[in-house]
Structure 1
Amino acid sequence: MTTFRVFIATSLDGFIARPDGRLDWLPGAAPDGVPAPAGEDHGFEAFMAGTEVIVMGRATFGAVRDFRPWPYAGRRLLVLSRTLTGADVPEALRAEVTVHPGPPEVLAAELRAQGVGGVYVDGGQTVQAFLRAGLIGELIVTRVPVLLGQGKPLFGALAGDVWWDHQGTRAFPSGLVQDRYRRRPAGR
């Protein structure tokens, strides 16, 4: 069964990036930014152990494509974009990174037909599109104790309420707080 999951960090005021897309406030995300807390992976390695495919949008790919070491090594990554082409993917990543035009429903159907299990959905607009399509089954949101005041929000407009069951909260010594949610079954 294909499960679409989100593992993402936000500022306390709900932003996933600065207005220009920079992630320098996110611990460990930028070489010149806030260092990662020693000894804390915030469950990312365990999350990735259950991930076969990563789907992210063009803007998120642009923000992470130069990360070294490459955090998604050994996994297939699909960039959801109608404007990028395979030529826009750096040569070193072309074996693992493919551009897909979408929409999310088409991509989801293809991944299900391929028997893919865990799919990591990343990037604000991509997460929002998958939520609007009713595809996200699990949310793991880690709040970083910083107020940015402005930026790119994690969530956007939806056609209706989307309810979630809280699975747990984990606080880390660095001050980061992580909440896990599963999508509530219809009719509950």
Structure 2
Amino acid sequence: MKASVFIATTLDGYIATPDGDIDFLNQHPSTNPDEDFSYHAFIDTIDAIVMGRKSFEKVLSFDCDWPYVNIPVFVLSRSGVTVPSALSEHVQVLNGDAASISEQLKTRGFKHLYIDGGQTIQGFLAAGLIQELTRIPTLLGKGIPLFSDVPQAIQLMPIHTQQYDNGYVQTATAS
């Protein structure tokens, strides 16, 4: 099974400001109004999303309809999370480590997972299950890190890099 990350990470390793804000992502608009930084091409390759509780709650806070209507979403939480009734057919709460979640979803027939959320990504990285990561050319200096303590060095081999007109750099790596 393949597990991929599509998350904007600053050069200094942050995914949000200390208060969880991600507005810095809009500071580098593309000159191409249709540019989606390969997001839709990426989404077309996955068959399920695994995200942490905080990421799930962040998506719920956006002023838009649920963006993953046609994709099963699995929210990882040790303490439980409330799934709005309108999403109960699309969202399931799971508990477990990256390896067991990956195996469970593989057994259910999923082949390519989109992994989202800092702690969730860290768990899948530590298990050697991540292949792709997107970075942006910004330094925040402080914030919510994508990478905190990892149990050992994780060697990633670059397999593809794409630069966009606004300076964003997307790098796919394999572990």
The alignment's TM-score, normalised by the length of structure 1, stands at 0.84
Q: Relative to structure 1, is the Cα distance of residues 123 and 89 closer, same or farther in structure 2, using a 3 angstrom cutoff? A: same
TM superposition shift of 1:123: 0.7
TM superposition shift of 1:128: 0.4
**In structure 1, how many angstroms separate the alpha carbons of the residues matched to 2:155 and 2:98?**
20
Determine if contact 2:28/2:166 at 8 Å carries over to the other structure: no
Query: In structure 2, what is the equivalent of residue 44 of structure 1?
Result: 39
Query: In structure 2, what is the equivalent of residue 110 of structure 1?
Result: 104
TM superposition shift of 1:142: 2.5
Determine if contact 1:22/1:63 at 8 Å carries over to the other structure: no
Of residues 127, 133, 141, the one that matches 2:127 is: 133
**In structure 2, how many angstroms separate the alpha carbons of the residues matched to 1:103 and 1:36?**
37
The alignment's C-alpha RMSD in Å is 1.7
Q: Relative to structure 1, is the Cα distance of residues 89 and 36 closer, same or farther in structure 2, using a 3 angstrom cutoff? A: farther
> Residues 145-164 of structure 1, C-alpha deviation per residue, up to 9 Å, x if partnerless?
33222101111222222212
Determine if contact 1:54/1:122 at 8 Å carries over to the other structure: yes
Query: In structure 2, what is the equivalent of residue 92 of structure 1?
Result: 86
> More relative contact order in 1 or in 2 (CA 8 Å, sep 6+)?
2
Runs of 5+ unmatched residues, structure 2: none
Determine if contact 2:28/2:167 at 8 Å carries over to the other structure: no
Of residues 34, 54, 59, the one that matches 2:54 is: 59
Query: In structure 1, what is the equivalent of residue 5 of structure 2?
Result: 6
TM superposition shift of 1:46: 0.9
TM superposition shift of 1:43: 0.8
The alignment's TM-score, normalised by the length of structure 2, stands at 0.89
**In structure 2, how many angstroms separate the alpha carbons of the residues matched to 1:17 and 1:163?**
24
TM superposition shift of 1:124: 0.7
Identity %: 40
TM superposition shift of 1:3: 0.9
**In structure 2, how many angstroms separate the alpha carbons of the residues matched to 1:36 and 1:58?**
29
**In structure 1, how many angstroms separate the alpha carbons of the residues matched to 2:158 and 2:52?**
26
Name the amino acid aligned to 1:21.
G
Determine if contact 2:156/2:174 at 8 Å carries over to the other structure: yes
Q: Relative to structure 1, is the Cα distance of residues 96 and 174 closer, same or farther in structure 2, using a 3 angstrom cutoff? A: same
Name the amino acid aligned to 1:24.
D
Aligned length: 172
